[in-house]
Chain A
Amino acid sequence: MRQESPSRPSGYGPGEAPRWEDYSKCIQCGLCLNSCPTYRVLGHEMDSPRGRIYQMIQVERGRLALGDSFVRHMDLCLDCRSCETACPSGVHYGRLIEAARGQIERSYHRGPGATFLRRLFFRELLPYPSRLRAVGKLMSLYQRSGLEQFVLASRLLKVLPANVEKAARLAPRVENPFFRVGTVTPAIGTRRYRVAFLSGCIANLAFARLNEATVRVLARNGCEVVVPKDQGCCGALCVHAGLRDLARAMAVRNIRAFAREPFDAIVTNSAGCGSVLKEYPGLFEHGSQEHLAAAELFSARVKDVTEFLAGAELNTGLAPQRVRATYQDPCHLLHAQRIRKAPRQLIGAVPGIELIEMKEPDICCGSAGVYNVLHPEMAAPLLAAKMRRVDETGAELIVTANTGCLLQMRAGVAASSNPRRRVLHVVELLDEAYRQA
């Protein structure tokens, strides 16, 4: 029997790195392979969960450099955590990849262009709601004035790095007016709960109507809805990108903003935000006990809007919707938060809806935050496969429960042979049904 070979010095630098307690849980059974979107497309072990963990271990053992190859395969991971659901051994893959990315962020140099753009986006834009709004206003002008069509049709963007052009094409439509924070919306009927709504950062601009619908649906279910003013970006994009210091700062701000009073729940309509909000304590494991305790208190209150509504007694004043629908599981709801039933239960509560399950509803659609912008070559085949599964159901309505998935599925529908199909968030569906009742 072979025993451990003597180790060389670890390839990781100081600070958080993938931990033995986490990666030693991987028994290399390979049961996660076919659940991994990147493995399904590429068929390479390097781009499988098992392979990524193996590479992390080899870096630790000093056998593999924390260099281009390692970074490429870690970057290509969608952080969809489908492998966690598939894994019988309880490997917390999310923790591993996030730590690996933290290491990459600290010790790997991406070149001047990428470093500049990352800095601009993550450090100069995301943390500042006011700057986001300013950019949102500009984008809105740009999109409405016809300038966008002109720019996209022209070859102007070709002079910029390739990713900028792709980002420009995939940029969400800004919705005017923006969602307002710092409000309190009374419950309709008897007040049963007082909840806080975490409205997101970019979502306040690009999903203003969805946010409003969320508040309305909560209000109709006996919630007084507080939208704290000094909240900010949840930090999900930073955690996924390995910017852990920044994510911590964002977490501290939100914990403070929502700690003003003991809300019955802190509700979000974005699965990506929700999963990170629920995992705030992981950011403070090495920090002060005080921060950790506050994070635990905060995270325990976080609820996805579908989770919250399914757990409350649902107001059933819903008008019938005669439509065949199918539901796409957002990865960060299903795999990261393990919520499968709640959204289906809510869809099922709408009279008249025929819910047809698509095959493999649990495989990523390729959206994954800004992934579809950074890795279109991977996102495109995933979306195509997803649309084939949707087509098989014959559904006229696609329901999902996350902003990124909404954008991606809408792009998929627009490019399909049946562009009239609708894509709605579960709460948008409920909102329509309430309003028609």
Chain B
Amino acid sequence: MFGRMGTMVYIDLTERRVKKEPLPNYLYEDYLGGAGVNARLLYENIPPEMDSLDPSAVVILGVGPLVGTIVPSSGRIEITAKSPVTGIFGDSNAGGDFGPELKFAGYDHLVIRGKAKEPVYLWIDNDQIEIRDARPLWGKSTWEADELLKKIHGDRELKTALIGPAAENGILYGTVIINRYRACGKTGMGTVFASKNLKGIAVTGSKDVKINDPEASEEIVEKMMKAIKSHPGFERFAAYGTMLIQHSYQAHGKLPVKNRQEIGLPEDLFARLSTQAFDKVKVRDLACFNCPVHCSSWHEVTEGRYQGQKGEKPEFVAVAAFGTNLGNYDMNSVCFFQNLSNQYGIDMMEFGNTLGLAMEAYQRGLLKKEETDGIALEWGDQDAIETMFFKTVRSEGSGKVLGEGVHRLTKRLGKEAEGFTTDVKGYGHSWGDCRSSLLWGLAYGTASRGGDHLKSFPAIDESGRKDLALQLFGTELAANPQSEEAKGKANAWFENYSAVLDSLGLCKFAFTWIGLMAADSKFPDLIAEALTAATGTPYDGKRLLQCGERIYNVEKAFNVRCGLKRKDDYLPLRMLDTPAPAGPRKGEILRPIYEKMLNEYYEARGWDQETSIPTSQKLKELGLEDVDQDLAPLRKPGKA
């Protein structure tokens, strides 16, 4: 088999059984690999009523057909399960080099179910797969466990995917940390591992990924590299990665401050979280597997309260989660909290959103000191943030409540909190203020895994690419962040495109943020050519995007079976009904525009306007007759 390794592994931790099976044709032809195959397997293996932490529930790891090849930025791994935070579709994706290593060991997907009696880890050394005792690793941070596994196996090059103490202690949004610094952060995949007594996976492999047409592959990769490097901002991306976003947000009036009560910062405060502030601790550049962008870097804090902190560069997510959203304007502390998050295995965004909500509740008098173990939850108080972080990862006192996430805290706080929560489908939404940037706002609302920017990643907004907007969506206005024109169509397109990237194993920063936005990039087609060269199966951009659409519809169908409807695709009240306090649409209300965009989105998707359920016609067009039958009883009488 070309491109893929051709093997899936079913692991039952209750029975301690490992079974290898060939990857079925229909899965890789229609769902590509990685996220797509994972989504389909989840749909087939989890009935809607099953709890995400039920021992019979599956958690699936997948790598795509371009992972581990010479295609640039092809090191992604996808983990998929029903989310313990939201109770709906959950998945999470990370870079690094665990994904390629899993492939070099010979596998495309691991489907894990059951619950081990004692903590275990999976040891994968090429053809050999063992369920091993993880008792010595349990309770250890991901960094300590990674180190211990390298010692046990005498291999410094071992690649690991591990959970930390946060998930073990029952926090709902525990992460799976890839090689210490990369996180499958969203939707609590680490908590699902913990529910199975699975500390993680260590893998080493030495097989080759066979390529159908290596010569063509090389030519295409050259074109891809040229396109990626032709982006006028390439050097800046390479130097700072997502840290450029805080500058863009500050300029565009999107930077979330104090749980989104405010937008943007005075320049003297902003400077403390800028790339210049990071320059003081930056040591050298780093990259994921085979990535020319190398958007990461190594930091070392050499002075002050956080002296001695070392690790990979904080992403913008961390700058907002521990910085602006909590009123804390100190880059060194952001480095510290990001390192802690990786060590303890906690989703920074959900923690930052939950603590931000708690701080605003405290400010409003809805939360009292008696309910916070005596801690005054004052904005920017680093001691308070640190104390609450440790209480959360240890599930102690009020930290237990924070460990349940935004949605459950909102419910506990009552009606008033609905006016300032960030809850979308049970998860706190991503950082941009949606009132200033309509397309990203719609993307947060419709994301299948709740409140998220990466399921769509519609980077046309604010890219300046009027020409691309015209080409893809028939109007230049699709690239105007303040126009509602064509936003539904654009969001659907980007969701499909992102599903393709996550399924092939390609990084969105390289292939959307930079690659697609570089002039003349021709990306969907170029990716299709790379897939054709790798696998020998002919693809073009159109077919690829149809696979993306199929994948997104399966994720949607999973959620429809869990009971989700149109009302679940809305942003929270602060974003919809409170006038923007600053930014380009200062004083305006988003709701009427959002309704229009959502209608256009459902139309572009072929989903019912009233219920949001995919129509029978759309599902049949995508070859999803079985899904159509499943959804038929959930449709309103007379609706197809």
Q: Is B one of A's binding partners? A: no
